[in-house]
Amino acid sequence: FFGALGHEITERTTKSRFDSEKGTIFSSKVTGITKSRDGNPGEKNAKSDSSLVYGDVLENTQSGIFGNYTSTLPNSKLYKVATPDEIKRGNAKILTVISDNKVEEFDINIIRINKESDTKNILFEITDKELLEATGGIVQGMSGSPIIQDDNIIGAVNFVLVEAPEKGYGIFITNMLEEAEN
């Protein structure tokens, strides 16, 4: 069972949560980036391959999408889960894809931690010059990108500040794990 995204999937025109009995996760490759600008969030442009199925989506909740990953997991690093009390302001990283399907690590700065919110827990800004040059900031398609601090997973990217796209929010990974248990 897995959790991803950090927020619900919404219908494009009504912005309401998309209800579905089931979904499928396909392979995809980022083919380009439409950069974010003040007032206009950019997006990852990608091509999916529906013949390469990686899993099923069973639930779409405010904390993310949840389901079963059925493919072989790549040889990836495992991270310890940090509690909200272990998270601190300052340096951290996000893991995301900006080209093809290569996961890369980029520098961020955690500005504020909010333990009272259900979804907007970690306010951060991108400080990585390469990522800012490539994307202009947070873009649609970065949701679910893991946030790492001190070699611990602390959350996932879930929102961009449209008026300041170099800033965004992350949800605590513990909030996502609690939702997965429900």
| pLDDT value for 1 | 43
| pLDDT value for 21 | 63
Which residue in 56, 107, 117, 128 is the catalytic one?
A: 128
Which residue in 36, 63, 143, 145 is the catalytic one?
A: 143
**Nearest-CA neighbor of 36 among 110, 141, 148?**
141
Tens-digit pLDDT profile for residues 9-58: 555 565 565 566 678 888 899 999 999 988 888 999 999 999 998 888 88
DSSP character at residue 74: P
Which residue in 7, 28, 63, 145 is the catalytic one?
A: 7
> Does 128 participate in catalysis according to the annotation?
yes
The amino acid at residue 24 is: T
Strands (E), 19-151: 23-34, 42-61, 64-69, 80-81, 90-97, 103-113, 122-126, 139-140, 146-149
Cα separation, 166 vs 137, whole angstroms: 4
Cα separation, 149 vs 161, whole angstroms: 21
Cα separation, 98 vs 141, whole angstroms: 10
| pLDDT value for 34 | 95
- Give the mean pLDDT of the chain: 87
Share of the chain above pLDDT 90, in %: 57
Please give the radius of gyration of the chain, using alpha carbons only, rounded to the nearest integer: 16
